[in-house]
Amino acid sequence: MDVKGRNFTRFLERQQAHSEQQDAKAASKQHAKGKLTAWERIDILFDEDTFEEVDAFVTADRSDTGFGKVKQTFGDGVIIGHGLIRGRLTFAYAQDFTVMGGSLGSVHAAKIMKIQDMALKMGAPMIGLIDSGGARIQEGVASLAGYAGIFYRNVQSSGVIPQISVILGPAAGGAVYSPSITDFVFMTDQTSYMFVTGPNVVKEVLNEDVSFNDLGGAGIHSKKSGVAHMVFPDEENTLMGVRQLLAYLPSNNMENSPEMELSPDETADVEEKLRDIVPDDPNKPYDVKDVINLLVDKRSFYEISENYAQNIVVGFGRMDGKVIGIVANQPKVLAGTLDINSSNKGARFIRFCDAFNIPLLILEDVPGFLPGIDQEHNGIIRHGAKMLYAFADSTVPRITVILRKSYGGAYCVMNSKNLGGDFNFAWPTAEIAVMGPEGAVAILYRKDLDASDDAVALKKELAAKYRNEIANPYVAEERGFIDEVIDPAVTRQKLIRAFEALETKHVDNPARKHGNIPL
């Protein structure tokens, strides 16, 4: 082929037209809002020089839709393609807010569906960088159908490949359903928001005044609704956070998560500090993250949904280089009780880990479920059952360590032996009972307490006796519900060995289309 000939010249002209489309003016408009352009985001997310764009020249339908012509642009406002993240094949789409406000038309949607199909075929993670004004009004139902197609593929891919949504701008109306189906939602503080109905409509219908940020900003979704799992102060940190998370996830549901070498200062030695964290006094709070950080490989704990339902802590960590999922009650928030939000947070995380072969470590210190009319009327029964179902239905290795309290139904829910726990350990501070000593004694010795002169002192005495004789972990140990009561200092060693032993675990659940998890 002649490089000066007609064919090659035409090819180069088209390349030129494409790059001219990304003009500096549009970019500075994006920057002025505190946002990055779609290409800048892709450059940060992917390893240097590994991204290959697909469908760069696809354009919208030329015909008049009846509501006006759609602007003809190469790419129709979204960049799709594949590249390497930490050397691993990953697919992504990045909506371009500078092109028709990143709005989704039928071609835009078709591109996204195309890359979703590819990701599913290749068994690699699918990342969505969302920055869109919503459905393209001119294209009417075609836009909506586009969304539906995307949602369908999100669901088809759910539990097959990891899907991460990164909200870097608006995501409104129907557009929010794709992220909510995906496994993890990342948001950037102050410049991203998600809601089903925007402030304008809220004002019209309910006459309530609310700003974008207050209705569906990063703060709201990370603290109140739990929709956002991770929030970062700016876009670069957000995208780096995605890269960090991917290092814990397998590329698809057939693989194991990648392993990482240990730091040179890593040991599996006896860690005496573990003995000092849980107080003997069952009412004194402590931070369970102190325990987590001493058990996992140094600095390997990646917490999910840190600001939501803080009475339960979930996240990924590494045990001797291999990824595990951690579910832990947090005694310093709501005394570590389980409630509606924490049950939901825990259940979803457990289901994700089970889908992707990530073993689970459960650190238990739970006095029960949060009592109250609010919890009962809002269905704590259903929601608590979710976590129970999630544990029982999972076939990944699951190890429980009871750190302190474990009362009543909560004992069952937190991966007890009979729920299928593979190894159940307990620390000497563990208290396992049908209910707390004070409550139990009030019922068992009601007549004696009523007849006594000093009921308060008697109750204290009986509670101490109950604590000593019934609530201690050795009763459970003797009956096999606890495999071993261990010295906190050797917990890390024990866990590393236990997880190693469980590496080849496989369990068959009865054949069925799928169970009916309470929702």
Partner 1 sequence: MKIKSLLIANRGEIAIRIIKTARKMGIRSYVIKTAKEPNAWYLEEADEIIDFSEDYDESIPEFLDIERIIKGAKKRKVDAIHPGYGFLAENPDFARRCEEENIIFVGPSHDAIYRMGHKTIAKELAREHGVPLLGGSPGAVRDAEEARKIANEIGYPVILKAAAGGGGRGMRVVSKEKDIERMFTLATNEASKAFNNPDVFLERFVREPRHIEFQILADKHGNVIHLGERECSVQRKHQKLLEESPSPALSSALRKKMGEAAVNIAKAVNYYSAGTVEFLLDSDNSFSFMEMNTRIQVEHPVTEMVTGIDLIEQMIRIAEGEKLAYTQKDIKLNGWAIEWRINAEDVQSGFSPSLGTIEKISWPEDEHVRVDTGVRDGSVITPYFDSMIAKLIVHAETREKALQQSSMAIRKFWIKGTKTTLAFCRAVLQNTNFRKGNFNTSFLSKELKIHYHAEPDEALLAAFFATYDYAREIQENEEKPLHTENGKIAPWVLKKRLR
Partner 2 sequence: MAREAKKKQSTKLIALSTTNKAYEFRKPLEKKIKYQGKEVEIKLHEDPKGFSYIVWKNKKYMLDVIEKKQNRYTIMVNGVWHTFTVETPVSLKRKRYLEQQADASSAVSIEAPMPGKIIDIMVEEGAEVKEGEPIIILEAMKMQNEITSHITGLVKTVAVKKNETVMKDDVLIEIQRG
The binding site for partner 2 (CB under 8 A) comprises 15, 18-19, 31-36, 39-40, 43-44, 48-49, 51-53, 56-57, 190-191, 232-237
Contact, 245 vs 163, CB < 8 A? no
Q: What is the CA radius of gyration of the chain?
A: 27
Strands 484-485 and 423-426: parallel
409 a catalytic residue: yes
Residue 225 is a binding residue for partner 1 (CB under 8 A): no
| Closer Cβ to partner 1, 276 or 487, answer by number | 276
Q: Which of 133, 174, 384, 421 is catalytic?
A: 174
Give me the amino acid identity at 41.
Answer: R
Residue 465 is a binding residue for partner 1 (CB under 8 A): no
173 a catalytic residue: yes
Residue 197 is a binding residue for partner 1 (CB under 8 A): no
Indicate which single residue of 258, 285, 420, 439 sits in contact with partner 1 (rule: CB under 8 A): 258
Residue 298 C-beta: closest distance to partner 2, Å: 15
Q: Which of 142, 390, 410, 433 is catalytic?
A: 410
Return all residues near 307 (Cβ < 8 A) that are at least 6 apart: 222, 223, 231
| Closer Cβ to partner 1, 59 or 263, answer by number | 263
Within 66-105, the residues that bind partner 1 by CB under 8 A are 86-88
Given partner 2, partner 1, none, residue 280, with its beta carbon under 5 to 8 Å by kind, binds partner 1
What DSSP state is assigned to residue 418?
Answer: G
Residue 369 C-beta: closest distance to partner 1, Å: 25
Given partner 1, partner 2, none, residue 449, with its beta carbon under 5 to 8 Å by kind, binds none
Contact, 483 vs 424, CB < 8 A? yes
Q: With b meaning 16 or more CB within 10 Å and e meaning fewer, what string describes 80-94?
A: bbbbebeebebbbbb
Contact, 281 vs 189, CB < 8 A? no
Q: Is 70 left (phi over 0), alpha (psi -120 to 50) or beta?
A: beta
Residue 508 is a binding residue for partner 1 (CB under 8 A): yes
Residue 451 is a binding residue for partner 1 (CB under 8 A): no
Could you give the CA distance from residue 144 to residue 151 in angstroms, rounded to a whole number?
11
Indicate which single residue of 255, 269, 376, 454 sits in contact with partner 1 (rule: CB under 8 A): 255
Given partner 1, partner 2, none, residue 233, with its beta carbon under 5 to 8 Å by kind, binds partner 2
- Give the E-state strand segments of 367-456 in sequence order: 398-407, 423-426, 431-433
Residue 345 C-beta: closest distance to partner 2, Å: 20
Indicate which single residue of 2, 20, 48, 261 sits in contact with partner 1 (rule: CB under 8 A): 261
433 a catalytic residue: no
Residue/partner pairs of 285-289 with CB below 8 Å, 24 or more apart? 285/331, 285/332, 285/335, 286/331, 286/332, 287/330, 287/331, 287/332, 288/313, 288/328, 288/329, 288/330, 288/331, 288/332, 288/336, 288/363, 288/365, 288/403, 289/313, 289/328, 289/330
Could you give the CA distance from residue 275 to residue 165 in angstroms, rounded to a whole number?
40
Residue 48 is a binding residue for partner 1 (CB under 8 A): no
Indicate which single residue of 299, 382, 446, 465 sits in contact with partner 1 (rule: CB under 8 A): 299
Residue 284 C-beta: closest distance to partner 1, Å: 8
Residue 260 is a binding residue for partner 1 (CB under 8 A): yes
Structure tokens at 230: 């991770």
Task: Classify residue 262 by burial, with Cβ atoms within 10 Å: 0-12, 13-18, 19+.
Answer: middle
Could you give the CA distance from residue 438 to residue 442 in angstroms, rounded to a whole number?
6
| Closer Cβ to partner 2, 190 or 357, answer by number | 190
Instruction: With contacts defined by CB under 8 A, name the span among 53-61, 144-152, 276-284, 431-439 that binds partner 1.
Output: 276-284
Q: Kind and range of the H or E element at 467?
A: helix 455-469
17 a catalytic residue: no
Given partner 2, partner 1, none, residue 34, with its beta carbon under 5 to 8 Å by kind, binds partner 2
Q: Which of 77, 169, 173, 368 is catalytic?
A: 173
Could you give the CA distance from residue 314 to residue 111 in angstroms, rounded to a whole number?
34
Binding flags for partner 1, 392-421, as an x/- string (CB under 8 A): ---x--------------------------
Given partner 2, partner 1, none, residue 276, with its beta carbon under 5 to 8 Å by kind, binds partner 1
Could you give the CA distance from residue 114 to residue 75 in angstroms, rounded to a whole number?
13
Q: Which residues are catalytic?
A: 173-174, 409-410
Which residues of this chain interact with partner 1, rule CB under 8 A?
Answer: 86-88, 240, 243-244, 247, 251, 253-256, 258-261, 263, 276, 280-281, 299, 357, 395, 460-461, 464, 503-504, 506, 508-509, 511
